[in-house]
């Protein structure tokens, strides 16, 4: 999972790009980058670390230009070096820089095709370099062949359509096309979010595209709407965005955004992340009530599960307590690449509050159980702090299948639920009892209550149904091999 920003206005944009990256820092803590265009020259930087670290030694004054893009990285296929950080640039046609959030399922075949058939060099393991070269190749052939009706705007949109035809997987993209403007597009399945907003800027408007609405709102933008699956938008300097639907939409937003990734103050595709998390807690409370197991207190495993735990406690008429305090300077354990780094992170990340735990029957609420190592260590810590019983509820159903769309769980052996029954998991993590969210309850919770029909989401890591239709055992094995070959990502 990564985060992207794109901005265009009547004045310099670099300050807002760096500021907005801070609001989507939770989507990637490994590297950050940005690029601007001043009408003649691209200026680009990519560095390892958090946004503040990555830009600490940059002279932002050199990033001239009224259009730019930014990126925070969370590595999946790439090996994690700065050579795989985004944005990427090509010089022909026009000059293009690009960044994305997502993951290609046909990364390697496409890279081979680009290199062997089209003599395009792809030097990194980062899939946006492939998307960029596919787009550039499509654009070049349209301009050369004259199939773009001599109109560069048509050619740019048609090149996005060609990119949709060739690139499989998930990708929400922002790009600067020299001499033409800021381009944004979202794959036909809309697996990753992308939204845009605007605010007054001199005589006109400043537009910003972002992975999450929280970045727009925090910088004073009025949210206009989400970019639609299969839609491309081009914003030329001083003009209104032009939108075209370049592929049929088959919307399957990643449901894990609501469980774990997104910030609770974000709206994604018209759904409040915060409200969805409350409803996830309500659904858990109903199932917990059916079991009749008594607890004294409900404690969230910070931070993503907090709204669900609050609502669960409210519905069960049990006290909600902050029994685990988070050291805010360690980072999110799931998002820290590499298992060893995760283990280190967990030990330092949480501290138990004895007053809220000692002698109590504790119900812990977590957003999900992936490998089980976090849950096991937390439960043991709560027992060591004197809990009489430790129960666990998970906002997410069991995770059993690799994610091939950009979340760092792309090998089967990463899931405790792929080899153990629910009772086996309960025993392995050392809980007195374990409650998982039901699939139907989760979908209902993530569907706005005023909609009659449950939304369609990607839930492939839970049910094994990959919405892009191109993921079979061979693709899974190839992606797993690529992931393992990339080695530890720190
Ligand atoms: S497989 Fe899971 S984590 Fe990956 S995009 Fe789908 S729902 Fe999200």
Per-residue pLDDT of the chain (490 residues; tens, 9 = 90+): 799 999 999 999 999 999 999 999 999 999 999 999 999 999 999 999 999 999 998 999 999 999 999 999 986 544 568 998 999 999 989 899 999 999 999 999 999 999 999 889 898 989 999 999 999 999 999 987 655 445 899 999 999 999 999 999 999 999 999 999 999 999 999 999 999 999 999 999 999 999 999 999 999 999 999 999 999 999 999 999 999 999 999 999 999 999 999 999 999 999 999 999 999 999 999 999 999 999 999 999 999 999 999 999 999 999 999 999 998 776 555 555 565 665 565 667 899 999 999 999 999 999 999 989 899 999 999 999 999 999 999 999 999 999 999 888 877 778 999 989 999 999 999 999 999 999 999 999 999 999 999 999 999 999 999 999 999 988 888 877 777 766 543 2
How far apart are the CA of 387 and the centre of ligand 1, in A? 34
Domain coordinates in residue numbering, the chain: 3-252, 274-452
Q: Which residues of 72-88 are buried (b: 16+ CB within 10 A; e: fewer)?
A: bbbbbbbbbeeebbbbb
The reply to whether ligand 1 has any atom less than 6 angstroms from the CB of 254 is yes
How far apart are the CA of 63 and the centre of ligand 1, in A? 35
The reply to whether ligand 1 has any atom less than 6 angstroms from the CB of 403 is yes
How far apart are the CA of 115 and the centre of ligand 1, in A? 30
Q: Is 458 a catalytic residue?
A: no
Which residue CA neighbors atom 8 of ligand 1 most closely? 254
How far apart are the CA of 466 and the centre of ligand 1, in A? 9
How far apart are the CA of 40 and the centre of ligand 1, in A? 40
How far apart are the CA of 2 and the centre of ligand 1, in A? 13
CA distance 57 to 189: 38
For position 489, what pLDDT does the model report?
38
Which residue CA neighbors atom 5 of ligand 1 most closely? 254
Question: Helical H runs in 401-438?
Answer: 422-429
Query: Given the CA of residue 257, which atom of ligand 1 is nearest to it?
Result: 8
Containing H/E element for 350? Answer: strand 350-352
Which candidate, 52, 13, 14, 6, places its Cα nearest to that of 31? 52
Query: Given the CA of residue 460, which atom of ligand 1 is nearest to it?
Result: 1
Which residue CA neighbors atom 2 of ligand 1 most closely? 461
In the block, which residue shows the tokens 């773009």?
148
pTM to 2 decimals?
Answer: 0.93
The reply to whether ligand 1 has any atom less than 6 angstroms from the CB of 407 is yes
**Choice from 77, 405, 408 to test ligand 1 binding pocket (greatest atom count within 8 A of CB):** 405
Containing H/E element for 74? Answer: none
CA distance 373 to 366: 13
- In the set 2, 126, 214, 446, the catalytic residue is 2
CA distance 14 to 404: 32
Right CATH number for 274-452 from 3.40.50.261, 3.30.450.20, 3.40.50.2020, 3.40.50.10420? 3.40.50.2020
The reply to whether ligand 1 has any atom less than 6 angstroms from the CB of 405 is yes
Q: Please, how many CA atoms are within 13 Å of residue 207, restricted to the half-sphere of its CB?
A: 25
How far apart are the CA of 228 and the centre of ligand 1, in A? 18
CA distance 433 to 243: 51
Which residue CA neighbors atom 4 of ligand 1 most closely? 403
Query: Given the CA of residue 402, which atom of ligand 1 is nearest to it?
Result: 1
Phi, psi dihedral angles at 430 (to 5 degrees)? 80, 25
The reply to whether ligand 1 has any atom less than 6 angstroms from the CB of 256 is yes
Containing H/E element for 37? Answer: strand 31-37
* Domain 3-252: CATH class, spelled out: alpha beta
The reply to whether ligand 1 has any atom less than 6 angstroms from the CB of 460 is yes
């Amino acid at each position: 999972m990564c985060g992207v920003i794109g901005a265009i206005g009547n004045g310099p944009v670099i300050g807002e790009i760096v500021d907005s990256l801070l609001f989507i820092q939770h989507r990637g803590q490994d590297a950050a980058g940005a690029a601007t265009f001043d009408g003649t020259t691209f200026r680009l930087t990519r560095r390892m670390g958090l946004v503040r670290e990555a830009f600490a030694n940059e002279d932002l004054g050199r990033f001239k230009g009224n259009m730019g893009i930014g990126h925070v990285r969370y590595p999946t296929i790439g090996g994690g070096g700065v050579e795989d950080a985004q944005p990427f640039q090509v010089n022909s046609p026009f000059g293009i820089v690009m960044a994305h959030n997502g993951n290609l399922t046909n990364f390697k075949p496409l890279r081979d095709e680009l290199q062997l058939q089209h003599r395009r060099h792809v030097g990194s393991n980062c899939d946006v370099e492939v998307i960029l070269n596919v787009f550039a190749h499509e654009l070049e052939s349209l301009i050369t062949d004259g199939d773009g009706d001599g109109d560069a705007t048509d050619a740019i949109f048609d090149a996005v359509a060609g990119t949709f035809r060739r690139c499989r997987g998930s990708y929400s993209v922002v790009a600067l096309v020299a001499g033409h403007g800021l381009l944004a597009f979202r794959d036909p399945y809309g697996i990753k979010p992308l939204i845009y907003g605007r605010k007054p800027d001199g005589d006109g408007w400043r537009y910003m595209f972002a992975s999450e609405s929280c970045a727009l709102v925090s910088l004073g933008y009025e949210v206009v709407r989400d970019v639609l699956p299969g839609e491309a938008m081009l914003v030329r300097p001083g003009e209104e965005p032009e939108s075209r639907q370049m592929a049929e939409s088959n919307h399957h937003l990643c449901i894990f955004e609501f469980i774990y990734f997104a910030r609770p103050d974000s709206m994604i595709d018209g759904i409040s992340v915060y409200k969805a998390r409350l409803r996830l807690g309500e659904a858990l409370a109903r199932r917990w009530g059916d079991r009749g197991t008594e607890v004294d207190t409900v404690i969230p495993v910070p931070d993503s599960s907090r709204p669900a735990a609050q609502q669960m406690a409210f519905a069960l008429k049990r006290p909600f307590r902050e029994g685990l305090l988070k050291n805010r300077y360690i980072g999110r354990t799931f998002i820290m690449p590499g298992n060893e780094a995760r283990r280190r992170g967990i030990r330092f990340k949480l501290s138990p509050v004895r007053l809220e735990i000692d002698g109590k029957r504790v119900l812990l609420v977590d957003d999900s159980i992936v490998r089980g190592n976090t849950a096991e260590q937390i439960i043991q810590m709560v027992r060591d702090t004197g809990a009489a019983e430790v129960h666990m509820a998970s906002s997410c159903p069991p995770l059993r299948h690799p994610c091939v769309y950009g979340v760092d769980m792309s090998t089967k052996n990463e899931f405790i639920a792929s080899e153990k029954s629910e009772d086996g998991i309960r025993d392995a993590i050392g809980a007195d009892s374990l409650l998982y969210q039901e699939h139907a309850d989760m979908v209902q919770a993530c569907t706005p209550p005023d909609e009659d029909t449950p939304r369609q989401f990607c839930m492939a890591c839970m049910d094994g149904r990959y919405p892009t239709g191109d993921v079979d055992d061979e693709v899974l094995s190839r992606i797993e091999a690529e992931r393992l070959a990339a080695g530890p990502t720190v």
